Structure 1
C-alpha cells in the first residue's frame, strides 16, 4: 500500500486530492498548519483508517516515512498570501527545501504545485512552458510569484544535483467546492456576491481574461503527473485552455444564480495579469489529459456548495 504525504492537504485542491488518493487505496498523511486550510474540508475523511492528519508548518523540517510527496502547502489567493508576505515566501522556499530533503532521504518522488503566476503579467499568449515570464520581483504579489519561481529552481537543482524524482505542475485558475468564501478569488467572489445580491466587484474594465479549470479535472492531472516515469519532470501547464473575460464570468454567474446584483467597477490591482490562458499541449502529449468539465457544469456545483455554506438553501 502506498503511503502518500499531501502538504496543504486541508486546503481547497489538497482536500480533493486527499479524498481521491484514499479512493484509489492509498494511505494518506495530510499535513497542514491551517493558516488557509480548513478542518471542515477534511473532517469527513477523519473516520477513514487510512487517513492521518498532522498539524505542521512546512517551514520546519518534517520527519515521516512515506512513499511519495505532493507539496501543495502555500496560501494561493492574493488576500491570503499578501497578509504575511514574508511567511508566504518562507513557505514556498523553506517548504521546498525541507520537503526535497525528505524526498532525498527517502529516495521517493515529489510533486510541486507551482502556479501560472510564475509567468507574471505575460507578454506571450497563450503561455507555454518555454516562456520565462514577465514578473515584478518587488511588487505586492512578488512574495507568491517569486517564491514559487524559487521553489521551481530548487526542485530542478535537487533533481540535477541529487537525482531526485521531481514533478512540477504549473496550476492555472482552479475552482470548485471547498473554495474559501472570502479568499478573494474571482469565482468565489462573484458567486458569494451574487448569492447575497450584492454588487459584483469588477476590477478595471473587466476585459482581463482567465481560464477556469474545475477541481476534479485538476486532481486527475496531478495524479497522472505523479504516475509518470522518473524522467518526466515538467514543468507542465495544467489548466483549462478556454478563456473568459471577467465581464463574461460575472454575467454567467448572475444568470445562473438568478441574482439581482449589479456590477461595480474598481481600479485594477498592481501587477494584475491582463491575460491568462495555458497552452496544455505538453499535458495532452505526456499525460493524455485535458479537462472535461464545462464551465457551466462546474459553476453549478460550485454555486450549490456556496449556497449550502451560506445556508441559502436551493
Structure 2
C-alpha cells in the first residue's frame, strides 16, 4: 500500500494522474485543490467518491491550510499551479502567487525527516527555457541541460515561466539541504480531454464548433504528448530510483507548426473552413520540442498514443454538445 498526494488534483494533469493512481485499490490517493482553476465537475466528483480517494479543499498558498493535509505520505506530486496562456497575460500576479507559495509550504511540511516521503515530484514546464531558445538560438529539440532564461521581466507572458524556474531552484536546494528525494518533470504541451479552454487545442476546437477559423501563432512549432502517456511517464519517474535528483523532459517527439496542427484538427473533425491566420501574442516562443533521451534511458516509458489518435480523442471530448 502506498499513499499518494496529488496537488492540483482538480486540474488537468492532476486529475488524470489521481484517477490513474486510484485504479489500484491498494493505493490511497489524496486529492488537494482550492479550485482557483480546477473544476469540481462530475468527473472529479466521481473520482473523489472512490473508496481509496480523499479530497481536501485547501488553499496551498496558506501554510495553515497545508497543515490540514495528512502529515505522512509516500509520494507527493506537486502539480497545483495557475496555468493557461490567457492567465499569463491577464492574471500574472495571481499566476506568480499560486505557482510559488505552495512549493514553500509543502516543502516545509513534508520535507521533515519523519514525513516518510519517498519522492517529491515537482511539475515544471518547458516555459522555463523558452526564452533561451529564442534569445540565444538554442538547439531544438532541447535537452534538460539548457540554461534557463527570462528574457523580459516586464512582459506578463513570463509570469508562469519565472515562477516555475524559481520552483526548480527551490526544489533542488531544499531537497539537498533537507535530505528528501525529488524529481523535476518538465512537461511539454500535454493535451487531452478535460484540459480546460485556455490552451491551443481546446481553444481552437471551440472556434471550430462556432465556425470561427482564427488561428494565432500559425508559424510557431510545438511537440505534443497525450495525457495518458504523460501520466504513465510521471508515475515511472516517481518510482524509478535513477530519476531521483534529476530533471526529466516529458513530452512528444513530433514537432509541428500550429498551422499543421489546425489542419489536422479540421481534417479529423471533418469541419471545413478558410483559416484566418494571425501572428503570435508578444513573447510567444517560435519553437519548442524536447529531447527525451533521459526519460527513455532512465525509465521503461514508451509512447502509446500517437498524435492523430490523441487529437481524435480530444476532439471527441470538446466537440460534444455537453462541452459547448
| TM-score normalized with structure 2 length | 0.90
Q: What is aligned with 1:45?
A: 47
Q: Deviations over 1:4-27 (max 9, x none)?
A: 111000001111001011013311
SS in structure 2 of the partner of residue 6 of structure 1: strand
1:1-314 matched pairs, under 5 angstroms:
1-24=1-24, 25-40=26-41, 41-61=43-63, 62-63=66-67, 64-65=70-71, 66-105=73-112, 106-108=115-117, 109-121=119-131, 122=133, 123-124=137-138, 125-138=140-153, 139-180=155-196, 182-183=197-198, 185-203=199-217, 206-229=218-241, 232-308=244-320, 310=322
* Alpha-carbon offset, residue 292 of structure 1: 2.3
* Alpha-carbon offset, residue 310 of structure 1: 4.3
Higher deviation after alignment, 236-245 or 21-30:
21-30
Change (3 A) 1:200 1:95: same
* Alpha-carbon offset, residue 245 of structure 1: 0.5
CA distance in 2, matches of 1:311, 1:144: 27
SS in structure 2 of the partner of residue 141 of structure 1: helix
Higher deviation after alignment, 21-30 or 10-19:
21-30
* Alpha-carbon offset, residue 259 of structure 1: 1.1
State the aligned residue count.
308
| CA-based RMSD | 1.7
| TM-score normalized with structure 1 length | 0.93
- The question of whether the paired residues in 1 share the 8 Å contact of 2:143 and 2:249 is answered with yes
SS in structure 1 of the partner of residue 320 of structure 2: helix
- The question of whether the paired residues in 1 share the 8 Å contact of 2:242 and 2:298 is answered with no
- The question of whether the paired residues in 2 share the 8 Å contact of 1:112 and 1:169 is answered with yes
- The question of whether the paired residues in 2 share the 8 Å contact of 1:165 and 1:230 is answered with no
Gaps of 5+ in 1: none
Higher deviation after alignment, 231-240 or 268-277:
231-240
Higher deviation after alignment, 4-13 or 85-94:
85-94
Change (3 A) 1:247 1:285: same
- The question of whether the paired residues in 1 share the 8 Å contact of 2:248 and 2:295 is answered with yes
* Alpha-carbon offset, residue 212 of structure 1: 0.7
Change (3 A) 1:83 1:58: farther
Q: Deviations over 1:105-137 (max 9, x none)?
A: 214121000000011231221111010134324
Moved over 6 A (4+): none
Gaps of 5+ in 2: none
